[in-house]
Structure 1
Amino acid sequence: MTPEHADTPHTQQQNPGDTPAGSLHDTVRAGELARAVDSAFDSTLATLKDLVAIPGIAWSSFDPAHLDRSAEAVAALARKSGMEDVRILRCNKADGTPGGPAVVARRPAREGQPTILLYAHHDVQPPGDASLWHSAPFVAEEREGRLYGRGAADDKAGIMAHLAAFGAVSEVFGDAFGTGVTFFFEGEEEAGSPTFRAFLEEHRELLRSDVIVVADSSNWKVGVPALTTSLRGLVDGTFEVRVLEHAVHSGMFGGPVLDAPTVLARLIATLHDDDGNVAVAGLVARDDVAVDLTEAEYRADASVLDGVKLAGSGSIASRLWTKPALSIIGIDVPAVAVASNTLIPAAKAKFSMRLAPGQDPDAAMEALRLHVESNVPFGAAVTFTPGERGDAFSTDTSSAAAKVALWALEEAWGVKPVEMGIGGSIPFIADLTEVYPDVSILVTGVEDPDSRAHSANESLHIGDFRNAVLAEALMLARLNADGLEA
């Protein structure tokens, strides 16, 4: 799925305005919408660049003033789009400190019309090691049909896709656009959405809708759109092994007892079998994915080094979407630069386990705890500490809203969209499904396999961004015309 850059950034595979007119195209005024999107696109892209310049990071170690400035800028854009009811809201965390500022803007539906909630988030990941970036992370730069910068794809492009689509439909339909629209632009997603559930509970009626569009996912590849139909769940935490009360000289005492890092390494090795499958008993795993990735595509997208054998069994797509994945994402041991010649008494690892749809997170956490405690070698003391947990997500693509979304994606790109899973997790979607059990949730996005969200040189494919705007405009127009009977 290695992307090929478009010759020019604003081209697409097929323009709905160039297709033969039919009753549906006439109803949604597809050609007019495409022209409206295109005429405003330079301004849309310029505004996205302005948003990229704001380093709004919701982590406590970063200046919260930038996050507030980001919320104010997004709120101003919502007002400019024609929304009259625009608010910046927040809830407190469990410790009493304020959560990130969310922007909520509403336009009520006319009688008999549905309400669509459009979600994205304005906070971003920290830039990381600046030396790894080819351009300044908070200065948006166009290169070879892509826009580079932190948040250019994740997820300020999602905000601009919502705003630009709403603007195009409002321009083309005017007073005939009676569908209710709510913008919900979160301000702490990259910090784990710590107040999300409390925010939903407090503002349940303010955010109530018939369809929720979450623009925080990816497309299949450049030139091929996708509707995300499943996301893996997540549990994380730590386990620590201890073999000594305190450090001792490795020459005087080494031999009869293994140091804690070695014991930890042997424990970590039990988490996978010889083929690289997760070896924790009792976890849900399926190999029933309808579409697949080739090994060459996966290697290119994940930058796997030549000679490294892929882990696990079954199709590559199932290994990414419908089977568990267990990673060690941090280890606490002395750094090499400060290591002394002693036996280390304790060592700790942080784990992150992705869960297949259908897996209960509590059951998965318990299964991993039992595995760790049963497999710790040499009788070492072990402490297992659970961390965060989040449910998986799957959607019914036979729903009216999903059918409209798939139609709109195909119209905008000119190719059939892929119904794809994502190996990652968006835990707050579980909160949305619990608070609003009867709402259709559609997970879309503007990223592609080379967007490098969270990494250095994050980027957005500009041509696909334009298509994403048009697809959402078409979806809004058709829901406006046909409601949820589309």
Structure 2
Amino acid sequence: MTRNDAIARARLYLQSGEFLAELDRRVAYRTESLNAERKNELYAYLKDELTPSFAALGFESRIIDSPSGRSPFLIAEHHESDSAPTVLSYGHGDTVDGMVGEWRDGLDPWTITTSGNRAYGRGTADNKGQHSINMAALRAVKETRGGKLGFNAKFIIEMGEETGSPDLARVADMHRDALKADLFIGSDGPRLSAERPTIFLGCRGGIRIHLDVNLREGAHHSGNWGGVLANPATILVNAIATLVDGHGRIKLEALKPPRLTNAIRDALADVKVEPTEDEPQLSDNWGEDGLSPAERLYAWNTLEVLALSTGNIDKPANAIPGRARAVLQLRFVVGTKVDNIAEVIREHLAANGFPMIEVTTAQSFIASRADLDSPWIKWAAESVKASSGKQPAVLPNFGGSLPNDVFADVLKMPTIWLPHSYPGCSQHAPDEHILLSVTEEALAIMAGLFWDIGELERPL
């Protein structure tokens, strides 16, 4: 039996309907981690669904309660040889709200529904479908090799990623011996596009910045007080304009990343950001000057205004509001100094005439990435090309935020992410779906990758 046999077997799982039946069973668990009433569902997904599935693959599993009690974890291990490479994989079984009643044609978010090239269901893209692909690829390799993988494999599945993975780093630190591995391979987030396989080596960080202007209680008639009472909304929008301009360019130098290196520019040289017809098209004259769209998205910082609030937009009164607030988000790459970001912004605003604005931060994610010179990167890219016939895009980091720092910084291992979704998958929204064509290709890619790991006599 050969590598091609393992790939063919993995493809057959989808073609026969077996993979979608398995995923349908997993999607049926209503694992909304932001919903306190779903706590039992989070445990059930690990205990009743994944534990027996891993057992069928020859893994020993255990469920671990989180230190905060918020959501459980599962650690699974399959050991074959002390000298063989060990690979750690990751996934999360929790989802965002199902948004029942908001899906097209009345679709049930907790049931797989196929339509053309799409399979709809909450968690299909984020992340049940992705870790299910990796588990199915492992099964294809194991069956093809007559019951052996050829390497040691470990998994950690968390049930709190959609709440910011609050306990993942601590659990990883507490169980670092059980999670020790030569390489991390995870699958989450989207590819560069549906047509191009993608490898990314880390993620941008993210931090929310709250700006509040509280001048007085209540609103006051604009005819009687206009021109003599300071307007908090006017103050706030002008303050934001000192941080980011009308074309999305960051103005405060302290919010910018270090200069792009030649290595990062070279890695992104052949990467094109090309939305499909049903995805939003790129905006003209938006973002940092002198950078390509790929460099803006994967190698630069952005400051986005997520929400603005003052008065009542639906029923505006002829009155000057007493308060205004905004929530901004800084997406940042490795090397950006964010430890005292609130104080930096506070001092900047005060120096520009806005000392009355309160600045606080929340919901932060750490930026991290693997070493671009790691031998695992070239090896993985060659494996993906051999399985798909396509040269994968290799991104220094994902544009969004994932808990890559746990594996890169806490567990100290090279990290490789191979996503199986695409930008238009509607994750976190109604109509979340995976593409069947991408799923079949992903099954082949992962089966080939896991086969190639089993061919290594020792870690790279």
Alignment TM-score > 0.5, same fold: yes
Q: Output one character per residue of 1:104-130: Cα deviation in whole Å (capped at 9) or x when no partner.
A: 111124121121111111111213474
SS at match of 1:120: strand
Could you tell me which of 388, 405, 428 is aligned with 1:454?
428
Task: Supply the distance in 1 between the matched residues of 2:53 and 2:24 (Cα, whole angstroms).
Answer: 13
SS at match of 1:219: coil
Are 1:154 and 2:126 an aligned pair?
A: yes
- In structure 1, the residue matched to 2:86 is 115
AA partner of residue 419 (structure 2)? G
Q: After the TM superposition, which residues 212-251 of structure 1 pair with which residues of structure 2 at under 5 Å, given as runs?
A: 212-251=184-223
- In structure 2, the residue matched to 1:11 is none
Are 1:353 and 2:330 an aligned pair?
A: yes
Task: Supply the distance in 2 between the matched residues of 1:402 and 1:179 (Cα, whole angstroms).
Answer: 18
Residue range with higher mean Cα deviation, 45-54 or 265-274: 265-274
Task: Supply the distance in 2 between the matched residues of 1:420 and 1:193 (Cα, whole angstroms).
Answer: 23
Task: Supply the distance in 2 between the matched residues of 1:327 and 1:189 (Cα, whole angstroms).
Answer: 22
Q: TM-score, normalised by structure 2?
A: 0.89
Residue range with higher mean Cα deviation, 398-407 or 467-476: 398-407
Whether the 8 Å contact between 1:354 and 1:423 is mirrored in structure 2 is: no
Give the CA deviation at 1:187: 0.7
Task: Supply the distance in 2 between the matched residues of 1:465 and 1:286 (Cα, whole angstroms).
Answer: 37
CA distance 1:357–1:290, change in 2 (3 Å): farther
Give the CA deviation at 1:339: 4.5
User: Which structure 1 segments of 5+ residues have no match?
Assistant: 1-25
SS at match of 2:5: helix
- In structure 1, the residue matched to 2:160 is 188
Task: Supply the distance in 2 between the matched residues of 1:128 and 1:421 (Cα, whole angstroms).
Answer: 34
CA distance 1:401–1:389, change in 2 (3 Å): same
Task: Supply the distance in 1 between the matched residues of 2:378 and 2:139 (Cα, whole angstroms).
Answer: 23
Residue range with higher mean Cα deviation, 177-186 or 63-72: 63-72
Give the CA deviation at 1:132: 5.0
SS at match of 1:174: coil
Q: Output one character per residue of 1:430-463: Cα deviation in whole Å (capped at 9) or x when no partner.
A: 12222222x1211111011221222222211112
Give every structure 1 segment of 4 or more consecutive aligned residues whose post-TM-superposition deviation is greater than 6 Å.
Answer: none
Task: Supply the distance in 2 between the matched residues of 1:120 and 1:367 (Cα, whole angstroms).
Answer: 36
Whether the 8 Å contact between 1:115 and 1:181 is mirrored in structure 2 is: yes
Q: After the TM superposition, which residues 372-391 of structure 1 pair with which residues of structure 2 at under 5 Å, given as runs?
A: 372-377=349-354, 381-391=356-366
SS at match of 2:189: strand
Task: Supply the distance in 2 between the matched residues of 1:92 and 1:355 (Cα, whole angstroms).
Answer: 28
Task: Supply the distance in 2 between the matched residues of 1:355 and 1:400 (Cα, whole angstroms).
Answer: 26
CA distance 1:337–1:421, change in 2 (3 Å): same
Could you tell me which of 432, 441, 454 is aligned with 2:407?
432
Whether the 8 Å contact between 1:247 and 1:342 is mirrored in structure 2 is: yes
AA partner of residue 451 (structure 1)? C
- RMSD of aligned alpha carbons: 2.5
Task: Supply the distance in 1 between the matched residues of 2:202 and 2:347 (Cα, whole angstroms).
Answer: 28
How many residue pairs are counted as aligned between the two chains?
Answer: 448
Whether the 8 Å contact between 1:361 and 1:390 is mirrored in structure 2 is: no
Q: After the TM superposition, which residues 330-369 of structure 1 pair with which residues of structure 2 at under 5 Å, given as runs?
A: 330-337=307-314, 339-362=316-339, 364-369=341-346
User: Which structure 2 segments of 5+ residues have no match?
Assistant: none
Give the CA deviation at 1:102: 1.6
- In structure 2, the residue matched to 1:328 is 305
SS at match of 1:217: coil
Q: After the TM superposition, which residues 20-419 of structure 1 pair with which residues of structure 2 at under 5 Å, given as runs?
A: 29-41=2-14, 42-72=17-47, 73-83=49-59, 85-93=60-68, 98-128=69-99, 130-134=101-105, 135-282=107-254, 283-284=256-257, 286=259, 288=265, 289-293=268-272, 297-298=274-275, 300=277, 302-304=279-281, 310-313=286-289, 314-337=291-314, 339-362=316-339, 364-377=341-354, 381-419=356-394
AA partner of residue 325 (structure 1)? T
CA distance 1:61–1:369, change in 2 (3 Å): farther
Q: Output one character per residue of 1:376-407: Cα deviation in whole Å (capped at 9) or x when no partner.
A: 54x6x111112133332222354333233212
Task: Supply the distance in 1 between the matched residues of 2:67 and 2:33 (Cα, whole angstroms).
Answer: 13
Residue range with higher mean Cα deviation, 148-157 or 40-49: 40-49
Task: Supply the distance in 2 between the matched residues of 1:366 and 1:317 (Cα, whole angstroms).
Answer: 31
AA partner of residue 50 (structure 2)? V
CA distance 1:176–1:109, change in 2 (3 Å): closer
Task: Supply the distance in 1 between the matched residues of 2:417 and 2:28 (Cα, whole angstroms).
Answer: 26
Could you tell me which of 416, 419, 441 is aligned with 2:415?
441
Q: TM-score, normalised by structure 1?
A: 0.85
Whether the 8 Å contact between 2:70 and 2:160 is mirrored in structure 1 is: yes
Task: Supply the distance in 1 between the matched residues of 2:142 and 2:148 (Cα, whole angstroms).
Answer: 9
Q: Output one character per residue of 1:341-377: Cα deviation in whole Å (capped at 9) or x when no partner.
A: 4322221211111012322331555443433343354
